Amino acid sequence: MTFGENTIFPAAISGVASRKRKYHPTNSTKERKRRAMSSMTDTMEVIYRDIFDLVNYTAPDPATTPPLRHIEQQPQGVSETFTALTDLLLQDMNDSAHKTVVSELEGAYWTSVHATGFNFQAVAGADTPTRSDSEAVISGNHERAGMLMSRFIGTTDPQARYHSAFTLAVVWSRYWRLAQECGWKTVAVLLHSSRFRDFSRAANLTRWGELVKLIKTNVMSIQLLGSFNTGWYKAFSDAIPDADQVLTDQERVGYDGHYHHWRVPSDPNAKVAERHSTGFEVGDYTKIGNNGEAFARDPRLKRGAFDISQPCGACGKTSGECHCNLENWSPARIELVSTVGRGTGVRALQSFKAGEIIGEYIGELISNKASEDDDDLYVLWGHKNAHERDSYSTTSNHYGNWTRFVNHSCEANCVIEHVARRGKMLSVYRLTKDIAMFEEVTTNYGEGYFLGRGLKCLCGVEKHLHPLM
Ligand SMILES: C[S@@+](CC[C@H](N)C(=O)[O-])C[C@H]1O[C@@H](n2cnc3c(N)ncnc32)[C@H](O)[C@@H]1O
């Protein structure tokens, strides 16, 4: 099968770019739902950003983590109960990971009940903890208990020390219930986000319920993100003996160092995120090759002296001001998802504005001739500004990054552009529409891609680019 300039991604460049469609809000049910959820996705977006920003998170130093104020002030009996429960949960680690956080939260619950003399069960509707023997066990390990509670219940921020025990009781009941519904890992990851913690203190019941709904449909996504971006896993294994053993359960998502090896299942109830088994490798594997033979030089290099005063083709700024890091591009918060019938796709974990560049299409560089000889689903045909003699394509068939998973839509929101940057041609994905968090990123492969292969387009829009698609 041979691809022409207009049969695969380049069609998106010439075709869709010149036919820009503006986004018009409609009164459809879908649109109404979208608007209603948008304020909550704003919150979710900040929570995700907080978690993304935790790549370099280091767990608080137990020696310097201040104990909680209400713990300092509570009467002796309560302190003993609290300590006892925390120790109990440490001993119970072999039971199950889920139980652990429930125990922690039970400990917190009892602490609050004793500190305030108020049983929030009636207010928050939480079930009563069952550890009737808790008051009898005393170990005196107060500092460790405080450290653990702060670390895993997320109250290390100084402000939390001044919240009333009542507020904490309500908040803890929320965490506790969330842990029961979404698993302790989800709570542990979320608690790294200050927005999440603030929200759980400030939101009324209705708003909290809306957020919980959103969390429940994205449990795997949050857990996966947490595995790669938070220090909780390390903090947890450092603090708890046998943590590894406990964590090696069915729900564990792999930790192989690359976030984009994993895709979030479309079924929110699925336990395990799937790892890519296509043999495809993720990474910046841009290589120069012509079916085994190397190009004489990198065919993306533009001829003539490299003029540093030329603006960057990606951001339009001059080189002093340009901070594009296209060679190792990964700033966009996106994730891979399994779609129905269309394989793996890409969805946004933040909102983006039309015009933003979200990633570079990378892969092996092959000659155009080689790409014509092979029915390669991932080939990006030719670069417009490349010198004819060095004409080449990029394929992410074997190597590439997440951009290879961008699916086709007949109402796409993204195009590929070839831009010159520092004397080199790069292929980048630029958005043509604003997109919201959780929306799929799509591009236009061109109708020839589907018609030429007899493939059916499953993008789901009412009117396809071609009636036979
Ligand atoms: C460049 S790849 C995109 C990533 C791909 N979904 C995967 O899992 O590797 C192109 C392939 O994705 C699938 N695909 C993408 N968009 C599609 C659509 N709108 N309808 C049906 N299949 C689609 C087709 O199998 C197509 O050959």
Question: Do 119 and 105 share a domain, yes or no?
Answer: yes
Confirm whether 180 is domain-assigned: yes
In a domain, 1, yes or no: no
Q: Tell me whether strands 334-338 and 357-360 are parallel, antiparallel or unpaired.
A: unpaired
What confidence score (pLDDT) does residue 375 get? 79
Which of 264, 277, 282, 342 gets mutated to test ligand 1 (max ligand atoms within 8 A of its CB)?
342
Residue 240 lies in a domain: yes
Q: Is residue 221 located within the same domain as residue 314?
A: no
264 in a domain, yes or no? no
**One domain for residues 173 and 298:** no
**pLDDT of 72 strictly over 70:** no
Q: For residue 268, what pLDDT band results from cuts at 50, 70 and 90?
A: low
Reported as a single tens digit per residue, the pLDDT across 186-225 is 776 787 677 887 788 788 889 999 999 999 999 888 877 8
Distance CA 178, CA 187 (A): 7
Q: How many Å apart are CA 90 and CA 106, to the nearest integer?
A: 13
Structurally, how many domains does the chain consist of? 2
Looking at the chain, the whole-number percentage of residues with pLDDT higher than 70 is: 47
Give pLDDT, residue 464: 94
Check residue 421 and give its pLDDT: 73
With a Cβ cut-off of 6 Å, ligand 1 is lined by 342-345, 377-378, 404-405, 407-408, 457-459
- Whether 213 maps to a domain, the answer reads yes
Same domain, 323 and 383: yes
Co-location of 250 and 117 in the same domain: yes
406 CA to middle of ligand 1, Å?
8
pLDDT at 118 over 60: no
Do 186 and 70 fall within a single domain? Answer: yes
Strand, coil or helix: what is 394?
A: strand
Residue 390 is predicted with a pLDDT of 62
Angle at 246 between CA 242 and CA 252, to 5 degrees: 135
Residues 304 and 443 in one domain: yes
pLDDT per position as a tens digit, 307-348: 566 777 777 777 667 766 554 444 578 888 989 899 999 999
Note whether 10 and 368 are within 8 A (CB): no
- The answer as to whether 148 is a domain residue is yes
CA of 407 to the centre of ligand 1 (A): 5
Distance (Å, rounded) from C-alpha 414 to C-alpha 12? 8
Which pLDDT band, with edges at 50, 70 and 90, does 149 fall under? very low
For residues 129 and 220, membership in a common domain is answered with yes
Pocket test for ligand 1, best of 407, 441, 461 (most atoms within 8 A of CB): 407
Which of 35-39, 126-130, 308-312, 382-386 bottoms out in mean pLDDT, i.e. has the lowest? 126-130
Domain that holds residue 199: 29-254
Residues 114 and 200 in one domain: yes
Are 360 and 427 within 8 A, CB to CB? yes
Q: Helices in 53-183 by DSSP H: which ranges?
A: 69-73, 76-91, 97-116, 121-124, 142-153, 165-182
Residue 323 included in any domain: yes
Q: How far is the CA of 408 from the centre of ligand 1 (A)?
A: 7
pLDDT band at 399 (very low <50, low <70, confident <90, very high): confident
Beta bridge partners of 314: none
- Asked if residues 445 and 8 have their Cβ atoms less than 8 Å apart, the reply is yes
Q: Report the b/e string of 104-132 with b at 16+ CB within 10 A.
A: bbbbbbbbbbbbbeeebeeebebeebebe
- Is the predicted pLDDT of residue 128 greater than 70, yes or no? no
Q: CATH no. for residue 388?
A: 2.170.270.10
447 and 387 fall within a common domain = yes
Q: Does the interface ipTM go beyond 0.90? A: yes
Q: Are residues 291 and 354 in the same domain?
A: yes
Same domain (yes/no): 427, 446: yes
> Is 458 inside any structural domain?
no
Is residue 148 within 8 Å of residue 239, measured between CB atoms?
Answer: yes
CA distance 407 to 443: 6
* 465 band by pLDDT with thresholds 50, 70 and 90: very high
Sequence-distant (6+) residues with CB within 8 A of 11 are 5, 444, 445, 446, 447, 448, 449
b (16+ CB within 10 A) / e for 53-85? ebeeeebeebeebeebebbeebeeebbbbbbbb
**Residue 353 scores a pLDDT above 70:** yes
Q: Mean pLDDT lowest for which of 20-29, 195-204, 249-258?
A: 20-29
* Distance of CA 359 from the midpoint of ligand 1 (Å): 18
Angle formed at CA 358 by CA 354 and CA 360, multiple of 5 degrees: 135
Res 198: pLDDT: 79
SS3 of the chain: helix, strand, coil, percent, to 5: 40, 15, 45
